[in-house]
């Protein structure tokens, strides 16, 4: 994985004159990580660059997040942009309205596992449960090492018990129980890119900061750009940028060469 800036002249040459599909994770990629997910805001310069790009007929934009679709749309509030929420379980494409891709029969196990988690994790400070439309997440940002470890032990036990119905996915300072067989961000991006017609938008650029984004980096073709956001580490991405601030700088440069 190389710094994107170290290869910028070459990348710029590839991007000039191309129609682009620009796809982003939200937390830690477009919006800086904050103590509580409800406070994660899109920085004003990033919003301005995305607004500009969303108006260009040469750019298709999409945000692919683990957040619920309604919450993601409320935070981003941009038009002409594809929203994929709940790791690919919920979609809203411009002009098509929201669509939920989960079978309702899974809701009873979801209620059961949520009850069980509440019981198992009670009394662990800074460990909290977020019930989503199709999944249940456990966050431990800010919890002590000891409490985080206790939470992990409980989660591993519950994951074994519900293995037939849910898969446990680990992300930054959190875990999520998703329906077994549900899409990953990778399969969601493949489906989204197919819908956005690769013939018209030949180059795909995907930005992500978390282990859940690795499924996307893994499915990109050699002509696409996977960009890891954060301190460089082992990743399937081809390039890295160090922070959401650098993602913003990239978007501003793309505005100049495309719009």
What are the residues binding Mg ion (CB under 5 A)?
25, 27-28, 209-210
Q: Which two tokens stand for residue 57?
A: 């007929």
Q: Which is nearer to Mg ion, 106 or 173 (CB)?
A: 173
- Rg (Cα) of the chain, in Å, rounded? 19
Closest by CA to 92, choosing from 233, 195, 229, 214, is: 195
Q: Which is nearer to Mg ion, 27 or 224 (CB)?
A: 27
Residues 172, 210 contacting (CB under 8 angstroms): yes
**Least distance from C-beta 237 to Mg ion, angstroms?**
13
**Least distance from C-beta 202 to Mg ion, angstroms?**
26
**Backbone phi, then psi, for 34, in 5-degree steps?**
-125, 175
**Which residues are bridge partners to 234 per DSSP?**
none
| Residue facing Mg ion at closest CB distance | 28
**Least distance from C-beta 210 to Mg ion, angstroms?**
4
**Least distance from C-beta 192 to Mg ion, angstroms?**
17
How far apart (Å, rounded) are the C-alpha atoms in residues 251 and 230? Answer: 16
Q: Which is nearer to Mg ion, 124 or 132 (CB)?
A: 132
Q: Which is nearer to Mg ion, 125 or 245 (CB)?
A: 245
Residues 174, 140 contacting (CB under 8 angstroms): yes
Distance between first and last Cα of the chain: 28
Q: Which is nearer to Mg ion, 219 or 247 (CB)?
A: 247
How far apart (Å, rounded) are the C-alpha atoms in residues 213 and 190? Answer: 13
Q: Which two tokens stand for residue 86?
A: 């709940």
**Least distance from C-beta 197 to Mg ion, angstroms?**
27
Residues in the chain: 259
**Least distance from C-beta 138 to Mg ion, angstroms?**
16
Q: Which is nearer to Mg ion, 28 or 62 (CB)?
A: 28
């Amino acid at each position: 994985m190389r710094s994107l800036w170290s290869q910028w002249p070459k990348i710029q040459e590839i991007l000039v004159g191309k129609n682009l599909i620009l796809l982003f994770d939200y937390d830690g990629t477009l919006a800086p990580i904050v103590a509580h997910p409800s406070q994660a805001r899109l920085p004003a310069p990033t919003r301005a660059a995305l607004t500009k790009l969303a108006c260009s007929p040469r750019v298709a934009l999409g945000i692919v997040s683990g957040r619920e679709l309604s919450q993601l749309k409320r935070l981003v509030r941009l038009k002409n942009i594809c929203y994929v929420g709940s790791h690919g379980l919920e979609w809203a494409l411009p002009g098509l309205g929201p669509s939920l891709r989960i079978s309702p029969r899974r809701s009873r196990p979801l209620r059961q596992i949520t009850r069980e988690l509440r019981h198992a994790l009670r009394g662990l400070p800074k460990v909290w449960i977020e019930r989503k439309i199709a999944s249940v997440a456990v966050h431990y940002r800010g919890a002590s090492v000891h409490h985080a470890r206790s939470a992990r032990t409980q989660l591993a036990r519950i994951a074994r018990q519900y293995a037939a119905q849910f898969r446990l996915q680990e992300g930054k300072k959190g875990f999520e129980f998703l329906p077994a067989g549900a899409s990953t961000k990778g399969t969601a991006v493949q489906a989204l890119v197919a819908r956005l017609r690769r013939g018209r938008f030949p180059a795909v650029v995907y930005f992500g900061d978390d282990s859940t984004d690795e499924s996307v980096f893994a499915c990109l073709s050699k002509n696409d750009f996977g960009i890891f956001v954060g301190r460089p580490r082992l990743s399937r991405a081809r390039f890295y940028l160090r922070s959401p601030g650098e993602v913003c700088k990239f978007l501003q440069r793309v505005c100049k060469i495309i719009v």
